[in-house]
């Protein structure tokens, strides 16, 4: 995940694409992937700070809470779905969710 986030910050979409799961790569060509990310995931690509929350998994798949902080102090929470593939963990999907207790400290995501 860190490698893909670093690739997004560097606008290195070929590297970010290589971190995507095989199913994502079958669904999207590299240009389609770049367009989709630029259009739908600005909170991720433009984040000033990233924090990782809870991780749940079973050895072949995992879900990771990731908090993205904007330069203005806003925070958005996403659940990253990971799958174990040859060569390591790959990103299978990303879903935005709302943080619980928006007026208080971050306590997790809720689908």
Q: Which residue has the tokens 């330069």?
A: 71
Give the span between the Cα atoms of 25 and 21, in whole angstroms.
Answer: 6
- 12-26 pLDDT, tens digit per residue, is 999 999 999 999 999
Which pTM does this prediction carry? 0.84
Alpha helices in 28-80 (DSSP H): 30-40, 42-45
Asked if residue 107 is part of any domain, the answer here is no
| Whole-number Cα distances in Å, 67 to 4, 23, 54, 83 | 15, 24, 11, 20
pLDDT digits (tens, 9 = 90+) for 65-104: 999 999 998 999 999 999 999 889 999 999 999 756 443 3
- For residue 9, the domain's CATH number is 3.10.450.50
Residue 110 lies in a domain: no
User: Would residue 83 be called left, alpha or beta, if left means φ above 0 and alpha means ψ between -120 and 50 degrees?
Assistant: beta
């Amino acid at each position: 995940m860190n490698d893909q986030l670093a690739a997004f910050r560097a606008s290195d979409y070929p590297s970010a694409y290589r971190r995507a799961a095989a199913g994502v790569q079958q669904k999207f060509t590299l240009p389609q992937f770049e367009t989709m990310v630029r259009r739908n995931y600005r909170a991720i690509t433009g984040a000033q700070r990233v924090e990782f929350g809870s991780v749940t998994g079973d050895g072949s798949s995992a879900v990771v809470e990731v908090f993205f902080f904007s330069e203005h102090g806003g925070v958005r929470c996403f659940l990253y779905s990971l799958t174990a593939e040859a060569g390591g963990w790959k990103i299978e999907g990303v879903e935005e969710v709302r943080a619980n207790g928006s007026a208080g400290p971050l306590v997790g995501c809720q689908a």
